[in-house]
């Protein structure tokens, strides 16, 4: 991955310090291109906290960790956009999971 200029930031690193992990990823992205887009696949979220994805992830990020990570990435002057994928409305147990996700995402984008 290093030969391709890709950085791997493991979930354990994000769990330990989401902002530091995001800063490391952001530095790699900024060094690689004039602009970058963040792809956020909800499969990375801990399924019991945010049952939105097709692939349940028991050890994924909680919403606060994901929001802190995104908030750091979007503050970059080279941030050009965000794509959000894999939300499966069939997995929503109630009417609160999706609005909670949207609030966390909006908060991250607002800075």
Q: What does residue 85 show for φ and ψ, rounded to 5 degrees?
A: -135, 165
List Cβ neighbours of 87 (8 Å cut-off, separation of 6 or more): 42, 52, 53, 98, 101
User: pTM of the entire structure?
Assistant: 0.88
Domain extent listing, the chain: 2-110
pLDDT tens-place string over residues 28-77: 999 989 999 999 999 999 988 888 888 888 899 999 999 999 999 999 99
pLDDT tens-place string over residues 9-30: 999 999 999 999 999 999 999 9
Fold of 2-110: 3.40.800
- Judge whether 22 and 73 are in contact, CB under 8 Å: yes
């Amino acid at each position: 991955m290093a030969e391709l200029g890709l950085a791997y930031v493991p979930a354990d690193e994000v769990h330990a310090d989401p902002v530091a992990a995001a800063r490391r990823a952001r530095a790699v992205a900024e060094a690689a291109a004039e602009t970058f887009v963040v792809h956020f696949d909800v499969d990375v979220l801990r399924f019991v906290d945010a049952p939105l994805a097709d692939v349940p992830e028991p050890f994924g990020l909680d919403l606060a960790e994901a929001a802190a990570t995104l908030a750091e990435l979007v503050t970059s002057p080279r941030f050009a956009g965000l794509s959000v994928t894999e939300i499966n409305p069939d997995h929503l147990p109630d009417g609160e999971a999706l609005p909670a996700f949207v609030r966390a995402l909006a908060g991250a984008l607002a800075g």
